[in-house]
Every structure is written in C-alpha cells, then in structure tokens.
Amino acid sequence: MGKELFLLADKIKLLRGRTSLTQADLARQLGLTRAAVNAWEMGLSVPSTPYVVELAKTFGVSTDYLLGMESNATISVAGLSEEKVALVVEMVQKLKEK
C-alpha cells in the first residue's frame, strides 16, 4: 500500500506543477484547505474517491493513471483544431524517439 500511496502523491504533485497551480489554487478549486492538498502530496493521506475523480478532471488524466493502474496518461485535445492535434501527435512521437 505504501508504494501506491507514493505514486499517487507524486502524480498529484507533478500534475499540479505542470499546470502551474499552487497547492492553494488546487485546494480552492476542490473546496479544500491547502493543508489537505499538502498532505496528499506528502503521502500522509489520500484523497477520497470523489476527489480522485475531480483531480482526474482537473488535470485531464484518467483515474486509472492517478491510481497507478495504467502507465499511460491521456491528454484532452478537446477544443484544438485538427492542425494542433496533429502537432501534439508529432511532438509525442518525437519524444518517444531514442
């Protein structure tokens, strides 16, 4: 259980950082205290199921990804033009090249 707890904590911190949200910003969005978000990121507690769902929506990833059930993150391309979607696909392919 400890390893899964760390994975979730690390993913929350990583995704929050990538979206340029502070702990306080994320806490406000979820209706929580900054201390609650900090406790998640430190692995001292875990978010309840409704918060896992909200975190997945906020970060545009699946709940399976957050919980370590799959290694693939998903990216929502909703609202992007076909050209921009093609650029995202091209960028991912370039990053996968060794």
Which CATH number goes with the domain that contains 13? 1.10.260.40
Q: Cα–Cα distance between 55 and 33 in angstroms, integer?
A: 15
Confidence tier at 1 by pLDDT (50, 70, 90): very low
Range of the domain at 6: 2-96
Q: Cα–Cα distance between 6 and 29 in angstroms, integer?
A: 23
pLDDT tens string 36-81: 999 999 999 999 999 999 999 999 888 888 888 876 667 778 888 9
- Total domain count, the chain: 1
Mean pLDDT of 2-8: 62
**Tokens 């993913």 identify what position?**
11
Average predicted confidence (pLDDT) for the chain: 88
Closest CA to 49 of 33, 66, 25: 66
